[in-house]
Chain A
Amino acid sequence: MVLYAFLCIAAAVFIGGLGVRIWAYAATPVPLRIPVTPAPLTRSGVVMRLFWEVVLFRSLFNASKWTWLFGWAFHATLLFVLLTHLRYFVQPAWMWLGLVQDLGGYAGLAMVAALVALAGRRLFVPRISAVTAPSDYLALALLIAIGLSGLAMKFVFHTDIVAVKAFALGLVYLDPQPLPLDPFLIIHLSLVAVLLVVFPFSKLLHGAALFFNPTRNQPDDLRESRYAPRITRNGVPAARSDTA
């Protein structure tokens, strides 16, 4: 039940932290138009630009193929793995979750492989290790440990997933249920709780930056409409008329 409480707190910190951080980004002004060009000319063009960045990591693909391969593979398989976990939280489980489930194991293996590759890059490419701090390795280690403990249960030390599902639904409905005392499960869930707490306050939140960065989310329409935010970069009022 300690773990139940810890997970509840972690989830609350995760959601609250995410909210606070995203609010902080949204509330920070953008004093000037600074899109990296060539940039789309319209808002809908910006939506497409961000769409391809989110779905295919387009800039990263153009910049560094290996980093893209490992990074994209990790995120794509992570999404897959998260979907397989959905079935612990919905009752009755949706039909298509069964299909996802069949491939979940392979996705998990691929995810850990991608993480190991990213760690290898960080360790052995001098340019990258030169900009790496201990917390960067720790984030990778945390994700790898979560992945490995999950895979251990999937392939070797099977756990009582009916009881796990009861526990998970108990989290959703705030109705504590007992958890099988299985060491891999406890490790797995404890690390997930740690991840949830750390996520909003670390570089792991980088996804939000993608949507908020003016270099990518501003359209290039400066000669068509005057950009007149409330304040300029230094907080001096925009000159003369403030009307856009």
Chain B
Amino acid sequence: MAVTLGFDASKAGQGDPQELPALRPGAMAASKSYPASSAQQQLLGFPGELVDQWQIKAIAKLGELVQRSRALKVALDACVKCGACTDKCQFFLGSGDPKNMPAARQELLRKVYRRYFTWAGKHMPWLVGAEDLTEATLDEWYIYFHQCSQCRRCAVACPFGIDTAEVSMAAREIMDSIGKGQRYCNEIIGKVLTIGNNLGLKKHALAATLEGLEEEIKEETGVDVKLPLDVEGADILLVAPSADFFAEPHIASLIGYGKVLHEAGLSWTFSSHASEAGNFGMFIGSSENMQRVLERVGDAVRALKVKRLVVGECGHAWRVAYNFWNTLAGPYETLDPAYPIPQHICELTYDLWRAGKLRFDKSKNDHIRLTYHDSCNPARASRIGPDPGSQFEIPRALLRATCNHFYDMAPGTIRENTFCCGGGGGLLTDELMEVRLRGAQPRMRALRDVADEHGVTHMAMICAICKAQFTTVLPQFGFESDGVVGVHQMISNAIVLTGSVQAQEYEARLASAGNGDVAAGGKR
């Protein structure tokens, strides 16, 4: 894919990740995602084209949303424009476009809200920065609310917790409701609704893929690891992002899930009906569509009579699963309350490892010098593990257990201050490539620092969108695209399956070492 776009990634990739750019008004105004087709809109229950009297309808919709969401109401009322958020957005840091500053992005919606819903905005618009909803404003909404990855980095900074993600979701919902949807998100939601997953993979394709992977694992290890599909009565339903079935490097993590569950002797299955953990309904702020997508998970839970629900490596999917599944489609009465509902695959693996049920041979990852990219949604919108912040510790513990060389990136760029990969929230589409590259710049700089200082070669993560985005943008910044790895890919490399060729070799090595040197890195 040719990517020039006046953005020199090799230069932009050097420097302080949080360096402030000079303001470049309008710099990103030309980056505009493709509109949804009429058919794509209607499938989701939205008008196919821009409706008559769209201004009136958009304003009415805005009023309705503000009445129904306190987070939005607070966001539109309470900003004091203190500026704390203005240097936090990766899309601003990478572009300098002032409309990519969170307060300014919110202001696009707020100025219309003020004009029609506040006394001062109705009578003295010039004083309070209120503006009519014009075609130009609608166009700006479309451009800049599709340059927000809803990552919440600004919400952490805001003294009032104002969340630009809520504002951009509302803006997208308003635009959808008047017929101005985005193709990328809406096309994907349509695929889940009609076929069952974002990639549009049918059941026979899934079955064939899983069979092929089983053979691959057998060849590698000599062990019959099953990757079951639609097995009624299995204990665990594993819902993974559909990218895990086909995309690189995602698929390597799927193999990792299979190996872990096999080694622990757990009974589990995928579902072809609910073959998608992702839920782009969240990106467009549409609870109806989010709910329609995740009804499929409830269907599968009942049809397959499973007792536990486990979610694969996908950031926004985990937010939806952790925060919204139970509210929108629960309660799941048939699931066993002895286990977390839902459970993240990293929690499951971590608990198994702590219980001594998994052995890792760290030396299998000796060619890798590793860092970890916290994905936005597990970092700032949900939790993995028992404690606040254990979403940062558990993946790192698993990586340290499977790799001898682990180095964190700079403190202001990880954990709750992590940068978005640049492709989240419905931006992972080719026509937004310049947005994605500029949004990736701060993360790439932080990665460059640990690559220079510690020789880091690989970056692990637990998000399907991050994996796809980085695989594309890493080469632009002078890294190898296969430097992107999943946490369960690292586990897959290192896990010692009972009865495998690796186990024989590992045990022989243990025996010849005679003491605990090797064992210390493995089972605990």
**Same complex origin of A and B:** yes
| A171→B517 CA distance, assembly (Å) | 81
Task: Fill in one digit per residue for A63-98: 1 if any B CB lies within 8 Å of its CB, else 0.
Answer: 110010001000000000000000000000000000
| A28→B104 CA distance, assembly (Å) | 25
Interface-lining segment among B151-159, B229-237, B400-408, B502-510: B151-159
CB-contact partner of A59 in B77, B157, B381, under 8 A: B157
Interface-lining segment among B62-70, B195-203, B358-366: B62-70
A210–B288 touching, CB < 8 Å: no
Closest chain B residue, CB of each to CB of A59: B159
Residue B246 is within 8 A (CB to CB) of chain A in the complex: no
Nearest Cβ on chain B to A41's Cβ, whole angstroms: 6
Return chain A residues, CB-CB under 8 Å to B288: 234, 236
| A135→B23 CA distance, assembly (Å) | 23
Task: Fill in one digit per residue for B45-67: 1 if any A CB lies within 8 Å of its CB, else 0.
Answer: 00000000000000000001011
Residue B267 is within 8 A (CB to CB) of chain A in the complex: no
Closest chain A residue, CB of each to CB of B130: A133
Nearest Cβ on chain B to A222's Cβ, whole angstroms: 6
CB-contact partner of A203 in B66, B78, B291, B327, under 8 A: B78
Return chain A residues, CB-CB under 8 Å to B383: 37-39, 220
Nearest Cβ on chain B to A45's Cβ, whole angstroms: 8
Return chain B residues, CB-CB under 8 Å to A57: 159
B323–A32 touching, CB < 8 Å: yes
Task: Fill in one digit per residue for B72-103: 1 if any A CB lies within 8 Å of its CB, else 0.
Answer: 01100111111111111000000000100101
Return chain A residues, CB-CB under 8 Å to B161: 36, 59, 210, 213, 215-216
Residue B449 is within 8 A (CB to CB) of chain A in the complex: no
Residue A44 is within 8 A (CB to CB) of chain B in the complex: no
Return chain A residues, CB-CB under 8 Å to B291: 232, 236, 239
Instruction: Give the most central of A37, A213, A216, A226: most B CB within 10 Å.
Output: A37
B326–A226 touching, CB < 8 Å: yes
B388–A209 touching, CB < 8 Å: no
Return chain A residues, CB-CB under 8 Å to B340: 223
Task: Fill in one digit per residue for A204-218: 1 if any B CB lies within 8 Å of its CB, else 0.
Answer: 011011101111100
| A229→B324 CA distance, assembly (Å) | 12
Return chain B residues, CB-CB under 8 Å to A32: 287, 323-324, 327-328
Task: Fill in one digit per residue for B91-132: 1 if any A CB lies within 8 Å of its CB, else 0.
Answer: 000000010010110010000000000111000001111000
A37–B379 touching, CB < 8 Å: yes
Nearest Cβ on chain B to A72's Cβ, whole angstroms: 10
Residue B34 is within 8 A (CB to CB) of chain A in the complex: no
Return chain B residues, CB-CB under 8 Å to A213: 70-71, 74, 78, 160-162
Interface of A is mostly: loop
Nearest Cβ on chain B to A57's Cβ, whole angstroms: 6
Instruction: Give the most central of A39, A130, A227: most B CB within 10 Å.
Output: A130
Nearest Cβ on chain A to B58's Cβ, whole angstroms: 16
Residue A113 is within 8 A (CB to CB) of chain B in the complex: no
A215–B71 touching, CB < 8 Å: yes
B127–A223 touching, CB < 8 Å: no
8 A Cβ contacts from B152-197 to A: 152, 155-163, 166, 173
| A228→B323 CA distance, assembly (Å) | 11
Closest chain B residue, CB of each to CB of A204: B80
Residue B330 is within 8 A (CB to CB) of chain A in the complex: yes
A64–B157 touching, CB < 8 Å: yes
Residue A153 is within 8 A (CB to CB) of chain B in the complex: no
A31–B157 touching, CB < 8 Å: no
A36-B161, A67-B83, A212-B70 are contacts. A236–B330 as well, Cβ < 8 Å?
no
B127–A226 touching, CB < 8 Å: no
Instruction: Give the most central of B71, B83, B155, B330: most A CB within 10 Å.
Output: B83
A32-B327, A206-B160 are contacts. A131–B104 as well, Cβ < 8 Å?
yes
Instruction: Give the most central of B70, B326, B383: most A CB within 10 Å.
Output: B70
A31-B287, A236-B291 are contacts. A212–B327 as well, Cβ < 8 Å?
no
8 A Cβ contacts from B393-421 to A: 416
Nearest Cβ on chain A to B68's Cβ, whole angstroms: 6
A37-B380, A71-B82, A131-B104 are contacts. A233–B126 as well, Cβ < 8 Å?
no
A205–B68 touching, CB < 8 Å: no
B163–A36 touching, CB < 8 Å: yes
Return chain B residues, CB-CB under 8 Å to A234: 68, 173, 286-288
Return chain A residues, CB-CB under 8 Å to B69: 28-31, 233
| A60→B156 CA distance, assembly (Å) | 9
Residue B329 is within 8 A (CB to CB) of chain A in the complex: yes
Interface-lining segment among A7-15, A119-127, A155-163, A179-187: A119-127
B327–A232 touching, CB < 8 Å: yes
Residue A231 is within 8 A (CB to CB) of chain B in the complex: yes
A28-B73, A223-B341 are contacts. A34–B68 as well, Cβ < 8 Å?
no
B287–A210 touching, CB < 8 Å: no
8 A Cβ contacts from B306-362 to A: 322-324, 326-331, 340-342
Instruction: Give the most central of B159, B166, B379: most A CB within 10 Å.
Output: B159
Return chain B residues, CB-CB under 8 Å to A134: 126-129
A59–B158 touching, CB < 8 Å: yes
B388–A37 touching, CB < 8 Å: yes
A53-B159, A213-B71, A234-B286 are contacts. A203–B98 as well, Cβ < 8 Å?
no
Closest chain A residue, CB of each to CB of B72: A28
| A138→B126 CA distance, assembly (Å) | 13
Nearest Cβ on chain B to A4's Cβ, whole angstroms: 26
Return chain B residues, CB-CB under 8 Å to A6: none
B79–A203 touching, CB < 8 Å: yes
Instruction: Give the most central of A71, A127, A238: most B CB within 10 Å.
Output: A127
Return chain B residues, CB-CB under 8 Å to A205: 77-78
| A201→B82 CA distance, assembly (Å) | 18
Q: List 25 A-B contacts (CB under 8 A).
A: A28-B66, A28-B73, A30-B70, A32-B287, A33-B323, A36-B161, A37-B380, A37-B383, A38-B389, A59-B84, A59-B156, A59-B157, A59-B159, A63-B88, A67-B83, A127-B101, A131-B107, A134-B128, A205-B78, A209-B77, A209-B160, A214-B70, A226-B327, A234-B287, A236-B287
What are the 5 tightest A-B residue pairs by CB atom distance, in nearest-first order? A133-B129, A209-B78, A63-B157, A38-B388, A215-B161
